[in-house]
Amino acid sequence: MRFFPPHFRFLTALPLGALLFNITLIAQEKPASSTESAPSAPAAKHSEPRQSLAPNPSLEQLDLQRAIEKAGNDRAALTRNLLEFLQKYPQSSQRSQIYRAVVESSLQLRDFPTATEYAERLVALNPEDLNNNVLAVQLLEHYGDTAGWYRGTYYCSRVLDMVTREAVGEKSPRISGDEFERDKSRNAAAIILVRGRLYQKLNDLTNAEKDFTLSYKLLPAAPAAERLGELAEIRKDLPTAIHQYAIAFSLSDSREPSSPRADLRKKLGNVWRLAHGSEDGLGDYLIHTFDELSAANAPAKAPRNQGLKNPIEFQVRKAKDGSNYSMAEGKGKIVVMNFWATWCGPCREWEPIFERVASRYSDKQSDILFLEVNCDEDETLVPPYLAEEKPKSTVVFADGLERLLGVNAFPTTLVLDRTGKIAYRAEGMNTDTIDKTLIDAIEKALHPQQSASPSEATTASSH
């Protein structure tokens, strides 16, 4: 299966030398019978002429060779000569290849009307050729008139039918069945998006919205979301326009040479100001939208330790090798946990301080357990980090501990007393005091009878 992107690229025209060589080979080929099928789309602007008398094959080949030779290296002359040849031999057995040569040459000459006409003639010759249909669609979208856009929607529907009909048995052995199905979805989303754009040009906004919605459903991507935002803005539905533009902005890739992010930012800012009077709150809205999309597009993972209410009951994994680690190791002990992530700058700063505190209690391992608890979504980032930092404490993946203990910021340091209750919580860090407050909390948990109030729990929050 060949993947074509949402914004089709024009057929790359051959260098003139290669084009002449290919057509020369055409002229030397043995004539073959050719039957032209009528397209199911509405009649094209330029219908195919018919020839009542059968052409003389040898004379036709000779005339084609002369047309090529007279042109020399002049592409414009070649195009004129080929068109004159087609006027003389409208039913030439080689007209499919000649039409393609005319399209390629016309694109080089920026003669888009001629390129569009002969692209549609290619479709008329072989309505089931996917590449010809795609070529006609892209030219009609950019250079067609109202009637051409209408025909373009039919070509899109034909391409969509060809894409959806393709069976897994036809796939290349180099790709898996899952990859094949993903490619089908991407291809379908791409052509449906183009059809939606054609409907929008025709001011058929109902069908345009249906296609943009379906395209986004098949492949959540910025172009479809942006178009849905435009339609909502036309309807004066500002909340929906804001939502769709924010999605498009979040999904767009600024690394692409023709990234639409700058224009999306302008569109989003404009509708937000219309709705709210200023851009206050827009940044928070964008971050919220990005987080929602990230969560929705993340691979589904079965939550670990779901339903458990006591951290001591958890079975987590060691970050170093993925082996199981039972939190029951901390039963009856003071458990000190540092929740962190590789992307968190303050976590790197806090880690060696945490390790120094842990080393202070290295002779009390029967009473106290220190754990570094990683919360990265992409766990492949963790081994390189550990190889660089080389922490001495046991490092485990959170595996639901962060969910149970309400960890929402990094770093977060917790101390659990011997019963498993939280005796200390610090979110963020203050390098001047956090080690002292943590040591104080550990000492209180170790020796509750020495506290003024044995039931008192220390809670700290440092930023």
Q: What secondary structure, in 3-state letters, does 409-436 show?
A: CCCEEEEECCCCCEEEEEECCCCCCHHH
pLDDT exceeds 70 at position 449: yes
pLDDT exceeds 80 at position 221: yes
**Which of 291, 322, 341 represents a domain boundary (last residue)?**
291
Any idea which of 15-29, 89-103, 141-155, 251-265 has the lowest mean pLDDT?
A: 15-29
pLDDT grade, residue 181 (50/70/90)? confident
- Which comes out higher in pLDDT, residue 57 or 163? 163
Q: Can you tell me the distance from the alpha carbon of 155 to that of 164, in angstroms, rounded to the nearest whole number?
A: 14
**CATH number, domain containing residue 65:** 1.25.40.10
Other residues' Cβ atoms within 10 Å of the Cβ of residue 265: 15
> What is the model's pLDDT at position 218?
93
Share of the chain above pLDDT 70, in %: 82
pLDDT grade, residue 35 (50/70/90)? very low
> What is the model's pLDDT at position 450?
73
Any idea which of 181-185, 230-234, 334-338 has the lowest mean pLDDT?
A: 181-185
Whether 188 maps to a domain, the answer reads yes
pLDDT exceeds 80 at position 99: yes
pLDDT exceeds 50 at position 112: yes
Whether 210 maps to a domain, the answer reads yes
- When pLDDT is averaged across residues 54-68 and rounded to a whole number, the result is 79
> What is the model's pLDDT at position 27?
45
What length is written for the chain? 463
Whether 382 maps to a domain, the answer reads yes
> What is the model's pLDDT at position 32?
41
Question: 317 and 341 share a domain?
Answer: yes
> pLDDT tens across 272-284, in order?
999 999 999 999 9
Question: 42 and 153 share a domain?
Answer: yes
Q: Can you tell me the distance from the alpha carbon of 262 to that of 271, in angstroms, rounded to the nearest whole number?
A: 15
Cβ within 8 Å of residue 405, ≥6 positions away: 311, 339, 414, 422
> What is the model's pLDDT at position 332?
94
Question: 210 and 233 share a domain?
Answer: no
> What is the model's pLDDT at position 378?
85
Question: 203 and 230 share a domain?
Answer: no
Scored b (16 or more CB within 10 A) or e, 189-221 reads bbbbbbbbbbbbbeebeeebbebbbbbbebbeb
> What is the model's pLDDT at position 243?
96
Question: 189 and 253 share a domain?
Answer: no
Cβ within 8 Å of residue 52, ≥6 positions away: none
Structure-block tokens of residue 158: 């034909």
- When pLDDT is averaged across residues 59-68 and rounded to a whole number, the result is 88
pLDDT exceeds 70 at position 461: no
Whether 362 maps to a domain, the answer reads yes
Question: 234 and 208 share a domain?
Answer: no
pLDDT grade, residue 42 (50/70/90)? low
pLDDT exceeds 60 at position 399: yes
pLDDT exceeds 70 at position 441: yes
From 131, 101, 136, select the one nearest 117 (Cα to Cα).
136
Whether 3 maps to a domain, the answer reads no
> What is the model's pLDDT at position 41?
59
Share of the chain above pLDDT 90, in %: 61
> What is the model's pLDDT at position 19?
42
Question: 155 and 240 share a domain?
Answer: no
Question: 76 and 203 share a domain?
Answer: yes
SS (H, E, C) the chain: CCCCCCCCCCCCCCCHHHHHHHHHHHHHCCCCCCCCCCCCCCCCCCCCCCCCCCCCHHHHHHHHHHHHHHHCCCHHHHHHHHHHHHHHCCCCCCHHHHHHHHHHHHHHCCCHHHHHHHHHHHHHHCCCCHHHHHHHHHHHHHHCCHHHHHHHHHHHHHHHHHHHHCCHHHCCCCCCHHHHHHHHHHHHHHHHHHHHHHHHHCCCHHHHHHHHHHHHHHCCCHHHHHHHHHHHHHCCCHHHHHHHHHHHHHHCCCCCCCCCHHHHHHHHHHHHHHHHCCCCCHHHHHHHHHHHHHHHHCCCCCCCCCCCCCHHHCEEEECCCCCEEEHHHHCCCEEEEEEECCCCHHHHHHHHHHHHHHHHCHHHCCCEEEEEEECCCCHHHHHHHHHHHCCCCEEEECCCHHHHCCCCCCCEEEEECCCCCEEEEEECCCCCCHHHHHHHHHHHHHCHHHCCCCCCCCCCCCC
Number of domains in the chain: 3
> What is the model's pLDDT at position 195?
97
Question: 57 and 204 share a domain?
Answer: yes
pLDDT grade, residue 10 (50/70/90)? very low
Q: Can you tell me the distance from the alpha carbon of 259 to that of 238, in angstroms, rounded to the nearest whole number?
A: 24
Per the listing, tokens 């999309």 go with 293
Can you give the residue range of the structural domain that contains 131?
16-218
Residue 224, class by beta-carbon neighbours within 10 Å (0-12 exposed, 13-18 middle, 19+ buried)?
Answer: buried
198-202, 379-383, 459-463 — which one is most confidently predicted on average?
A: 198-202
Question: 405 and 324 share a domain?
Answer: yes
Residues 390, 424 contacting (CB under 8 angstroms): no
> What is the model's pLDDT at position 7?
41
**Which of 291, 321, 349 represents a domain boundary (last residue)?**
291
pLDDT grade, residue 6 (50/70/90)? very low
- Which comes out higher in pLDDT, residue 198 or 171? 198
Q: Can you tell me the distance from the alpha carbon of 205 to that of 256, in angstroms, rounded to the nearest whole number?
A: 29
Per the listing, tokens 């990683």 go with 374
Whether 371 maps to a domain, the answer reads yes
Q: Can you tell me the distance from the alpha carbon of 97 to that of 19, in angstroms, rounded to the nearest whole number?
A: 11
**Which of 197, 218, 239 represents a domain boundary (last residue)?**
218
Whether 298 maps to a domain, the answer reads no
Question: 365 and 425 share a domain?
Answer: yes
**CATH number, domain containing residue 416:** 3.40.30.10
Q: Can you tell me the distance from the alpha carbon of 274 to that of 240, in angstroms, rounded to the nearest whole number?
A: 13
> What is the model's pLDDT at position 460?
42
Whether 5 maps to a domain, the answer reads no
- When pLDDT is averaged across residues 448-459 and rounded to a whole number, the result is 55
Any idea which of 295-309, 388-402, 411-425 has the lowest mean pLDDT?
A: 295-309
pLDDT grade, residue 178 (50/70/90)? confident
pLDDT exceeds 60 at position 78: yes
pLDDT grade, residue 458 (50/70/90)? very low
Residues 116, 136 contacting (CB under 8 angstroms): yes
Question: 73 and 176 share a domain?
Answer: yes
